[in-house]
């Protein structure tokens, strides 16, 4: 049967070009499936063959389940891959079933599909249960932080400080409001942090120095970051050590912290780091 439409499925990860080595390692961990494509500022890892999706991607995410609401999209995606392996998508009934599944996923149907097939009814979304703190793998938190987390140094004016400046360290993870329960679970797992609102996002924030120094830093030392974000974490540690000995209360110490801050995140020259 020919409907004039072709169904394609793919899995992809987009990262900044500075994390290309991380994409290479991910591809290797997935058995070499897929390809890496480069643009001026971004890198894309993509798997679009049924063989690669069936033998590498799906077994990986079945073994190491997604914990955010993206899990629902994955379960729907897996249904389509299974249908394509069984060639069910080549029938009119199967094709419309795929459209119903796509209609329930994050991006939904394109305008062209919705106009051509106006009677498509989205399937029910799979129920995604929030995990318990005890069930979370610390390595998952590390991977989550690689994508959604940030280590920052804040230096603000402070009228009662001798130098007129106050220094605060901030570890945070940002997610859409729909995943706020997961952020609460991470707070329970780490036993520190608060949840704040920023527009439609929820932000897990740890700013209390005792928590940063005694919980956050030891956690990421025990379970190391794998991407270039580890460089920001190293500077974060160096700032914490200065604060620990109250060096931030001296001009020399504050200048060191300001220098660390200036080279972190968007201020970092990643091209100077080849490791």
CATH class of 134-266: alpha beta
Domains 11-116 and 134-266 agree in fold: yes
Higher-pLDDT residue of 275 and 47 is 47
Bridge partners for 170 per DSSP: 152
Average pLDDT across the chain, whole number:
93
Predicted pLDDT at 79? 98
pLDDT of 151 over the 80 cut = yes
Residue 106, Cβ density class (10 Å: 0-12 exposed, 13-18 middle, ≥19 buried): exposed
Give residue limits of the domains in the chain. 11-116, 134-266
CA nearest to 140, candidates 74, 66, 60: 66
Average pLDDT over residues 234-253: 96
Residue 275's pLDDT band (boundaries 50, 70, 90)? very low
Residue 160's pLDDT band (boundaries 50, 70, 90)? confident
Contacts of 103 (CB under 8 A, 6+ apart): 109, 120, 121, 122, 123
CATH superfamily of 11-116: Homing endonucleases (3.10.28.10)
pLDDT of 273 over the 90 cut = no
Predicted pLDDT at 183? 95
Predicted pLDDT at 270? 60
Bridge partners for 35 per DSSP: 46
Which two tokens mark 52?
Answer: 């690669």
Residues 35-78 have pLDDT tens digits of 999 998 899 999 999 999 999 999 999 999 999 889 999 999 99
Average pLDDT over residues 143-160: 91
Q: Report how far residue 133's alpha carbon sits from residue 184's, in angstroms, rounded to the nearest whole number.
A: 9
Is the Cβ–Cβ distance between 228 and 270 less than 8 Å?
A: yes
pLDDT of 272 over the 70 cut = no
Predicted pLDDT at 133? 92
Residue 274's pLDDT band (boundaries 50, 70, 90)? very low
Backbone phi and psi for residue 82, each to the nearest 5 degrees, phi listed first: -65, -40
Contacts of 206 (CB under 8 A, 6+ apart): 170, 171, 172, 190, 192, 193, 194, 212, 215, 216
Contacts of 199 (CB under 8 A, 6+ apart): none
Is the Cβ–Cβ distance between 169 and 212 less than 8 Å?
A: yes
Predicted pLDDT at 200? 84
């Amino acid at each position: 049967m020919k409907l004039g439409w072709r169904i394609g499925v793919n899995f992809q990860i987009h990262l900044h070009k500075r994390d290309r080595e991380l994409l290479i390692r991910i591809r290797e961990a997935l058995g070499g499936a897929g390809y890496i494509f480069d643009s001026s500022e971004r890198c894309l890892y993509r798997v679009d063959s049924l063989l690669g999706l069936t033998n590498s991607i799906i077994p990986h995410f079945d073994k190491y389940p997604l914990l955010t609401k993206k899990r629902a999209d994955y379960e729907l995606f897996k249904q389509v891959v299974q249908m394509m392996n069984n060639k069910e998508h080549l029938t009119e009934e199967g094709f419309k079933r795929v459209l119903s599944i796509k209609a329930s996923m994050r991006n939904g149907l394109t305008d062209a599909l919705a106009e051509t097939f106006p009677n498509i009814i989205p399937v029910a979304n799979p129920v995604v249960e929030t995990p318990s703190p005890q069930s979370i793998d610390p390595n998952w938190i590390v991977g989550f932080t690689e994508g959604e987390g940030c280590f920052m140094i804040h230096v603000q004016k402070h009228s009662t400080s001798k130098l007129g400046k106050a220094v605060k360290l901030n570890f945070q993870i940002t997610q859409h409001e729909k995943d706020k329960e997961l952020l609460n679970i991470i707070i329970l797992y780490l036993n520190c942090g608060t949840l704040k609102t920023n527009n439609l996002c929820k932000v897990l924030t740890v700013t209390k120095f005792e928590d940063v120094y005694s919980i956050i830093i030891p956690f990421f030392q025990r379970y190391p970051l794998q991407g270039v974000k580890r460089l920001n974490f190293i500077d974060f540690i160096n700032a914490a050590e200065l604060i620990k000995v109250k060096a931030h209360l001296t001009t020399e110490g504050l200048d060191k912290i300001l220098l660390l801050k200036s080279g972190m995140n968007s201020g970092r020259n990643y091209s100077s780091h080849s490791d």
